[in-house]
Structure 1
Amino acid sequence: EGFRLSYWAVFGWFNVLASPWVYRFFDLVVLLGVVGLPLALIRATKKPETVSFSSLALMLIWIAVVGLGYVRYNQLIEAATGRLVFPAIACSSILLSWGLNQLPPQRWAGAFVALLGVTMFVIAMIIPFWYIAPAYATPLPLAPHELESIPNQLDARFGDEIKLLGYEVEGDVFRPSELVYVTLYWQGLTAMERDYSVSLIVLTPGGDLIGQEDSYPGLGSSPTSGWTPGDVFADRSWVRVRRRADTPTIGWLGVSVYHLPTMERLAPWRKGQPVDQVFLEPLEIVSWEPEDHEVSHPTAVNFGNEIDLIGYDIDEARARPGDTVDVTLYWRAREEMGQDYTVFTHLIDDGGEIWAQSDDQPVRGDYPTSFWDPGQVVRDQYELILPSDIPPGEYQLELGLYLAPTAERLPVLDDAGHMLDNRVLVGPID
């Protein structure tokens, strides 16, 4: 998607886009050109004197070389941008034009191509004024009556210079490589000589950085040295979720302010207390396609009419002292949950003694149950390290869920809704 957009019309630091119809127009142009190429080749074989096949082969070889270079580059560096194939743009444009020229009747071919060229010229003339200039226009201060309508108001301050009055995130669920647009409502508290930068990050509960974008306010159009103390303005920024982010997960959207030449951060405060980072809200990040789970041990266990355990995998059914037993659980949400449950996985002997355990929220704590959608299947992995003194014998896994603040377990229910237990046993493990 990023390649497609940036090949035709992406500006700034991959943050200024044209309207969707612009990209659909170019999609149509490419589609028609590709459809017309077989016709062009057929006609060329009938009249070989009209085509230089050596030139055609050279263009195709060059497009292939550039394409392979693009693929290899993206294996090393995440950069799905169309500009990387611009060295072959002349060849690809000639071939597309050749294909387009085959579609209309020959007496209209010249007029068709000319009309297409004029249309593209008009689009190119409109874009700087319709899309680029407004994106870099200096934001105007909010009027006094607009201050009360600032969404998600908060009390966050950066040093004694800047205050963050509120924010608004566009969207609820995001996917790797997608942009998260957020509008920040800034207020200058004092006149500033420095031009500060704003850093937006996306951080998982486990501490993995899966997104970061740094820029000046207003994408450079509103330097802090020009702020009038007391004025409030809305700054629409964005951060891209990294393409290789593990999903599903929760990513906390964080904001910080710093001076780029010295990398000195303005001390963040929240509700009058110093904090390490000002976090706004958690973002739900899921994969592009539904995952196809192959479960080796299907089950049907109902936990409190909220979550089903639909299966599990155990990598080490036979293990030795000191080994790690990898356990994968497959959960399915029955309904939306307003609470975050903790999963317990205990390796127990016949007497119920626990020899290894792992208690954590699902997906290493990165995807709490309160974010699950009804019907969603979540793959959840745990590692159990066997102690060196564990005696030989047959063991079982004790599984379940509980609320950490109260230690109250979700009951296991039968089809009639009657409680059977507050755990389920699976195995054995020898």
Structure 2
Amino acid sequence: MIITALIPSFLFISGLVSNDGLVAFLSSIALLLLARLWRNQVSYSTVALLGIVLGSAALAKLSGLLLWPFAGLMLAILAWRRRSLGLFVRATTLAFSLAVLICGWWYIRNWVLYGDITGLNMMLDAVGRREPGFELQDVLGDFQAIRWSYWAFFGWANVPVAGWLYRVYDLISLVALIGLGFYIVQAIRGRRWNDLLAIVFLSIWSSMIILGLIRWTLATPGSNGRLFYPAISAISLLLARGWLQLVPQQGNAKQWTVLGIGIAFLIIAGYVPFFVIAPAYARPPFLSLEEVGNYVSQRMNIHFEDQITMLGYEVDRREVKPGDLVWVTVCWKGERKIEEDYFVFVHFLVDHDLIAAQKDTYHGLGSFPTSLWPADVAFCDRYPLVVPDTTPDSNQGLLSIGLYHRTGERVQVYSEDWQPMGDSIRFAGPRVVFPEGQQRLNYDWGHQVALVDYQLDKTVVVPGESLRVSSYWRALQRMPADYVVTIQVMDERGTKIGQSDIALSVEGQPTSAWQPGTIAEDHRTIQISPNAAPGVYEIKVGVYEPSTVQNLTLYRNRQVLSDGGLLTLWKLRVLSGQPLQE
């Protein structure tokens, strides 16, 4: 099982406090025991051990319950093969009685506490559910992330390996699948039924886990390749069988193939911890004050109270397009030993101090919090900012950097000569520009109609004032209904201060009369409530069918977005005051 042992993600998960490794181990033992029962005389000690494993697997993880119907099916086939109904009754009674004794209390507890024998609904309430309308075809949008994380994805799905390595894994998986197909054809032609049954045995279990993962993906966005791991030993055996089928069957070709695969997997498994995972979590290197100048273009000495000094900064670009990633380098020095772990924030501000992008984290992106800083030691930190693709153009952006306590209270900032500067330091940031001749947005609702652009006449208002919103739409296919576009202005708690719901139309034609590719312009005025409190609000857009008043599922690049079918276009700042008389 060298393949299983050297899959980087499985090694990573095995080093964590996680039930994934345990359920993979117990599932592998269950498969081994079932194979032993199939090949040898039925031993009730083996059946009893199988029952213990089934109960332990169901206690370790809910997916371990899938072993129960699989084991029942295998025992039924075994009894049919031996023409013994009594064997089936005795074996299943012994195995499942022991399994229930081991894990039954847990499921009874779930029923008593939650009214749900599996406790699954409570978990879904905690991790979040899919939006209504997410269907089987949408699971394909998660397929890349699932298969990549099966092989090599680390952290909280935020530390990938190089893209070429994923392509290698895809290629060897495809090769194995082709080889397995040839093996099955040859087994059928040669009437090697035992060989074929072994493939069927492994394939049934793998398919059950795959179906379970699909069911989970339909229920919640938390799908990951590690959820395949109960079938990892079966998948590895199928991969190996496929590879070996494609090499010459004479001589030492098989041995050399196994050795080559093992060495390749070993090299990758040895490379990942030191050259992928370790750098991602390494703390920044210590620098002398002279070396700081090699990392930043702007030097300064800004004090955060009397504990921390900001030595300089650098922004990696002067212009950004919506959707771009911007890196901001900031150099720091602790003036003395710090007991508290401060948070650092980096905000990218556009017109009217609206936040386009932000990063709130510990220093070192979590690897070097302030309580670990030695006194009088300098280092430089890099912060990634992703500019939303809905960001409006801006003549000049600003970057705002500061520190705050765990309570949220910000640390006061002082200039080099100790003059108060407020609770953050601001400096010029990149300008937001739009690429010419390109479609700006790629959001669609129900794969029916897509939003391709929008414009606002203002981003700051006073209560009672109006906001002009223009949006531009494209039909993706013939639509079965006359859809309505809703644009809502609300705060983070969902309190609305303005809303407009108008059916989309082109020259009086509703969406049901549009041809694919039809372009529509929608211009509307939204009246802001005269009772709106000062603050920052979000402008959201959705599409719904009037008969249901249910927003269609929102997609971006065919990926489902979980936000109730509402897309946040941009933000609106409401000031105190009276609207201007026109």
Determine whether 1:91 maps to 2:234: yes
Cα distance in 2, alignment partners of residues 66 and 239 from structure 1: 36
Distance, in Å, in 1 between the alignment partners of 2:401 and 2:169 is 37
The alpha-carbon deviation at position 56 of structure 1 amounts to 3.5
For residues 358-411 of structure 1, give each alpha carbon's deviation from its aligned partner in whole angstroms, at most 9, with x where no partner exists: xxxxx9699xxxxxxxxxxxxx999xxxxxxxxxxxxxxxxxxxxxxxxxxxxx
Equivalent residue number for residue 184 of structure 1? 330
Q: Deviations over 1:249-289 (max 9, x none)?
A: 369876553444x5554346799532579688467899998
SS of the equivalent of 1:59 reads helix
Contact in 1 for aligned 2:402/2:424 (Cα 8 Å):
no
Deviation of 1:89 (Å): 2.6
Q: Deviations over 1:320-360 (max 9, x none)?
A: xx995749899xxxxxxxxxxxxx9688xxxxxxx989xxx
Structure 2 residue 417 is matched with structure 1 residue 274:
no
Match of 1:50 among 184, 195, 198: 195
Q: Structure 2 residue aligned with 1:142, among 259, 265, 287?
A: 287
Alpha carbons of structure 1 residues 104 and 275: separation in structure 2 relative to 1, 3 Å = same
Distance verdict in 2 for CA 1:28–1:277, change over 3 Å = farther
2:330 aligned counterpart, secondary structure: strand
Rounded Cα–Cα distance in structure 2 between residues aligned with 1:93 and 1:81:
18
> Which residue does the alignment assign to 1:394?
none
Shift in CA distance, 311/80, structure 1 to aligned 2, threshold 3 Å: closer
Output aligned runs, 1:36-75, within 5 Å.
36-46=179-189, 47-52=192-197, 54-73=200-219
- Write the distance in 2 (CA, Å) between the matches of 1:142 and 1:273: 27
Alignment counterpart, residue 258 of structure 2, candidates 113, 127, 136: 113
Question: Which of the numbers 304, 328, 340 marks the counterpart of 1:194?
Answer: 340
- After superposition, the CA RMSD in angstroms is 5.4
1:248 to 376, 384, 390: 390
- Which letter does structure 2 place at the counterpart of 1:184? V
Q: Does 1:166 align with 2:309?
A: no
1:147 is aligned with what amino acid? Answer: V
Structure-2 residue corresponding to 1:23: 166
Aligned equivalents of 2:427, 2:248: Cα separation in 1: 61
**Pairing 1:233–2:374 present:** no
After TM superposition, give the deviation of residue 240 of structure 1 in Å.
7.0
Contact 1:206 1:365 in 2 (8 A): no
Sequence identity, in percent?
29
Code of the residue aligned with 1:86 in structure 2: it is: Y
Shift of 1:2: 4.2
Q: Secondary structure at the match of 1:101?
A: helix
- Indicate the structure with greater strand content: 1
Q: Distance in 1 between matches of 2:151 and 2:378?
A: 35
Q: What SS is found at the alignment partner of 1:249?
A: coil
Structure 2 distance, partners of 1:96, 1:204, is: 52
CA contact (8 A) 2:413 2:420 kept: no
Alignment-derived partner of residue 122 in structure 1 = 267
Aligned partner letter, 1:234:
C
Q: 1:222-262, CA deviations, whole angstroms, 9 ceiling, x for partnerless residues?
A: 33234345533122344678xxx7x43369876553444x5
Residues 35, 129 of structure 1: alpha-carbon distance in 2 compared, 3 angstrom cutoff: same
| Pick aligned residue for 1:216 from 343, 362, 367 | 362
In 2, Cα distance between equivalents of 1:105 and 1:90: 25
**Mapped partners of 2:472, 2:386: distance in 1:** 34
Report how far residue 55 of structure 1 moved: 0.8
Q: In the TM superposition, what is the alpha-carbon distance from 1:145 to its structure 2 partner? A: 3.4
Change (3 A) 1:168 1:28: farther
Query: Which structure carries more helix by proportion?
Result: 2
CA distance in 1, matches of 2:422, 2:505: 39
Q: Is the 8 A contact 1:200 1:238 kept in 2?
A: no
Do the aligned partners of residues 16 and 291 (structure 1) sit closer, same or farther apart at CA in structure 2, a change above 3 Å counting? closer
Hey, what's the Cα distance between the residues in 2 that align with 1:204 and 1:57? 55
Structure 2: tracts of 5 or more residues without a match: 1-143, 451-469, 475-481, 485-497, 507-521, 529-537, 542-567, 571-582
Aligned CA distance change for structure 1 residues 72 and 269 (closer, same or farther; 3 Å): farther
Report the CA distance shift for 1:281/1:61 in structure 2 as closer, same or farther (over 3 A).
Answer: same
- Cα distance, 1:289–1:188 mapped onto 2, change above 3 Å: same
Cα deviation digits, residues 159-203 of structure 1 (max 9, x gap): 44334421445894575xx97655432232443122323356778
CA distances 1:114-160 after superposition (whole Å, capped 9, x unpaired) = 31122101221232233333444443233333333444637665444
Pick closer, same or farther for the CA change 1:208–1:7 going to 2, 3 Å: farther
Describe the superposition over 1:28-86 as per-residue Cα deviations: whole angstroms up to 9, x where unpaired.
Answer: 2222223323223222322323122551442243233232134124xx34x45433333
Distance 2:414 2:153 in 1: 36
Partners of 1:323 and 1:139 in 2: CA distance:
48
Aligned-partner Cα distance in 1 for 2:472–2:279: 53
C-alpha distance in 2 between matches for 1:157 and 1:32 = 59
Q: Distance in 2 between matches of 1:256 and 1:285?
A: 29
- 1:329-340 map, 5 Å: none
Report the equivalent of 1:103: 246
What secondary structure sits across from 1:233 in the alignment? strand
In 2: Cα distance, 1:94 partner to 1:207 partner:
58
User: Per the alignment, do residues 61 and 249 of structure 1 end up closer, same or farther by CA in structure 2, a change over 3 Å counting?
Assistant: same
The answer to whether the Cα contact below 8 Å between 2:296 and 2:329 also exists between their aligned partners in 1 is no
Unpaired runs of 5+ in structure 1?
296-308, 317-321, 331-343, 348-354, 358-362, 367-379, 383-430
Checking the alignment, whether the CA contact within 8 Å between 1:169 and 1:182 is kept in structure 2 is: yes
| Count, aligned residues | 319
Q: Deviations over 1:84-113 (max 9, x none)?
A: 333333333232222222222223234213
In structure 1, give the amino acid aligned to 2:256: A
